[in-house]
Amino acid sequence: MTHGERLGVGLGGAGLLLALVLLPSSVFYGDGWGLVESLARRELVLPHPGYVTAGALVGIPTGSRPETALRLVSALGGALLVAGTFAGLRGLRFARGPAAFGALLVALAPATLFFSRHIEVHALHAGCAAVAFAAIANASRGRPFALASLLVTHASGVLSAPFLLWIGASTSRERKAPWRPLLLGALLALLFAAGVSAFQAAYAPGALVHPGDWSPVHAALRLFRWLGGSGSEGGTGYPVHALLLPAGLLSAAGLVGLVCLFLRARSLGVPLLAWTLVYLAFWAWNGFAERGGYLMPIYPALAAGAAELARSFLARAGRVGLAWRWVPAGALSLVVVGQGAFGVARGFLPSQGPDPFRWVEALREETRDEGSFATLDPAHGSLARRYAGLEVVHLSTIVAFRPADRRPALDAVAAEALRLSRAGRRVYFDGDMPGEYVGHPEFEGLLDRLREQGELREVARPPLHLWRVFPR
């Protein structure tokens, strides 16, 4: 890339980072509440040390809330994903226009717009994958550091490494794999894990409860542990729910373009296509769709396919009359606009809110920072405990009980709630039930029993919705 392009990538990445931080979101998704809890307790060595440590580096010096720090880390991951994709495509010698086309499809993909605004590891891991892709494609001196970041942000980073190595071998003048950067990267990842562990042992030794869950070696072993499938979202519909809908037009243009690249430049097309197909097959086998988050690391490969498609369109424009040269460029612009509309509709609008801190403010006004709070939502439980000082009963833990044991456990919760209310304590039940529990007969039955033996009064302070228990 030229000096001007590097400056443009830096400014564009900074602008995208600012936009992702300012765009509203509901903040939590998936393991987000657990990651916030890990950072709040300074537990840096648990399953995602790269993500939580990055949050600590942002939050501890600035005194930010864990939620704010980790949301900034996710936004940074999204910006790195787009900037790294463009830089990598330029390193693979795509012209500026096709490279920008591929990067824009990545930026406007629903999964990018969603995970870059929520607390989860996917955006940062995908950003590190894109940075490693760019470092390999440009034969950068920073390859060991880029590959190390890939290995410590998610266990599946070890699945990307062989394909990045293959891409490096295909694009280097020596025609050999860059083994040395990869080995140095693995060493740096081990040193990072050891350093974080040493800090943890000195700062909060009680947090070292899962010593096997943080090392890159264990990360590799986790891949084999996942083989055989432990998710519930696999099957024939997996490519639709994990790739086509979350990636939008990037998936269609990318897959078609990768086939074209395979036919035009097999040495580059084969590793990129293999990276995409193996990743898709691995996660389909395991049954994890999660709004496409697990497939975000292959977005740079899909962007290469999209860039190849754009290159082919623009090359054809050079062979037609001057009056028709605008057609391919116009068609590509329409694709970008369509991707943007689709990304906003699926990745932004459904996840604008509510702002969890408005919920906390309403909760504190209602409870006066005292009482008991029962909830099925782990994120609400985390917020209520840390910011409102409430005693939290996590009803979601009862889901893990055997069916025969759930009813007695819920009866015990109802009895304790009525006992506390008779003793004059404030007792609340969360009225915002996660989607998977809506209409659940056992949890609806819990509220019915409270109505039968006591009194339930609804408390509505938008976005807060509670039930308060009173003795009869």
CA distance 428 to 431: 9
Residues 333 and 381 in one domain: no
Helix%, strand%, coil% for the chain, nearest 5 = 70, 5, 20
pLDDT mean across residues, the chain: 82
CA distance 356 to 423: 31
CA distance 361 to 243: 38
Phi, psi of 47 (to 5 degrees): -45, -25
pLDDT value, residue 127: 95
3-state DSSP call for residue 414? Answer: helix
pLDDT value, residue 175: 60
Residues 144 and 245 in one domain: yes
Structure tokens at 98: 């096709």
Judged against a pLDDT cut of 60, whether residue 220 lies above it is answered with: no
List the domain range (segments joined by +) for residue 13: 3-351
Contacts of 30 by beta carbon, 8 Å cutoff, 6+ apart: 120, 290, 293
pLDDT value, residue 168: 85
Residues 328 and 401 in one domain: no
Check residue 439 and report its DSSP letter: T
Domain boundary among 351, 373, 405: 351
Range 93-118 average pLDDT: 94
Residue pointed to by tokens 């906390």: 360
pLDDT value, residue 211: 47
Q: What angle do CA 5, 91, 54 make, to 5 degrees?
A: 75
pLDDT value, residue 221: 52
3-state DSSP call for residue 156? Answer: coil
Most confident among 61-70, 192-201, 311-320 (mean pLDDT): 61-70
Given pLDDT bands bounded at 50, 70 and 90, which one contains residue 67? confident
- Angle in degrees, 0-180, between the axes of helices 49-62 and 32-40, rounded to the nearest 10: 50
Cβ count within 10 A of residue 458: 9
Bridge partners of 465, per DSSP, are 460
pLDDT value, residue 435: 58
Helices (H) and strands (E) in the chain, counts: 21, 5
What are the pLDDT digits (tens) for 281-296?
A: 888 888 778 889 999 9
What are the pLDDT digits (tens) for 19-52?
A: 887 787 778 887 788 888 878 877 766 566 778 8
Residues 450 and 311 in one domain: no
* 94 neighbors 307 (Cβ within 8 angstroms): yes
pLDDT value, residue 300: 97
Range 48-68 average pLDDT: 79
Pairing status of strand 464-471 against strand 454-461: antiparallel
pLDDT value, residue 257: 95
Given pLDDT bands bounded at 50, 70 and 90, which one contains residue 206? low
Structure tokens at 224: 């084999």
Bridge partners of 156, per DSSP, are none
What are the pLDDT digits (tens) for 227-236?
A: 555 555 667 7
Given pLDDT bands bounded at 50, 70 and 90, which one contains residue 237? confident
Cβ count within 10 A of residue 263: 10
pLDDT value, residue 111: 95
pTM: 0.85
What are the pLDDT digits (tens) for 328-372?
A: 778 888 999 999 999 999 988 887 767 888 889 999 998 888 899
Q: Which of 3, 283, 250 is nearest to 160 (CA)?
A: 283
CA distance 70 to 52: 7
What distances in angstroms separate CA 80 from CA 36, 103, 146, 167, 342, one per listed residue? 22, 11, 11, 20, 22
CA distance 213 to 218: 6
Q: Which of 106, 111, 51 is nearest to 84 (CA)?
A: 106
CA distance 427 to 470: 8
Residue pointed to by tokens 């509709």: 345
What are the pLDDT digits (tens) for 418-438?
A: 889 888 899 998 887 765 565
Domain boundary among 324, 351, 378: 351
Strands (E) across 236-394 are located at 372-375, 391-394
CA distance 346 to 351: 9
First to last CA, the chain: 74
pLDDT value, residue 228: 53
Residues 338 and 372 in one domain: no
Domain boundary among 302, 317, 351: 351
Distance of CA 264 to the CA centre of its chain: 34
What are the pLDDT digits (tens) for 238-267?
A: 889 899 999 999 999 999 999 999 999 898
Burial of 277 (0-12, 13-18, 19+ CB in 10 A): middle
pLDDT value, residue 209: 45
3-state DSSP call for residue 178? Answer: coil
pLDDT value, residue 185: 78
Residues 291 and 376 in one domain: no
Percentage, residues of the chain above pLDDT 70: 83
Please give the tally of structural domains in the chain: 2
Judged against a pLDDT cut of 70, whether residue 124 lies above it is answered with: yes
Residues 328 and 382 in one domain: no
Given pLDDT bands bounded at 50, 70 and 90, which one contains residue 191? confident
3-state DSSP call for residue 467? Answer: strand
Residues 319 and 393 in one domain: no
Contacts of 237 by beta carbon, 8 Å cutoff, 6+ apart: none
pLDDT value, residue 214: 47
Residues 282 and 343 in one domain: yes
Q: For the stretch 169-188, what's the b/e string if a residue is b when 16 or more beta carbons lie within 10 angstroms of its beta carbon?
A: bbbeeeeebbeebbebbbeb
Q: Is the dihedral of CA 261, 263, 267, 271 positive or negative?
A: positive
Bridge partners of 464, per DSSP, are 461
Residues 224 and 248 in one domain: yes
What are the pLDDT digits (tens) for 125-181?
A: 999 999 999 998 888 778 888 888 887 788 788 888 889 988 888 876 556 666 777
CA distance 308 to 261: 6
Residues 371 and 290 in one domain: no
Residues 287 and 429 in one domain: no
pLDDT value, residue 439: 60
Q: Which of 454, 442, 463 is nearest to 416 (CA)?
A: 454
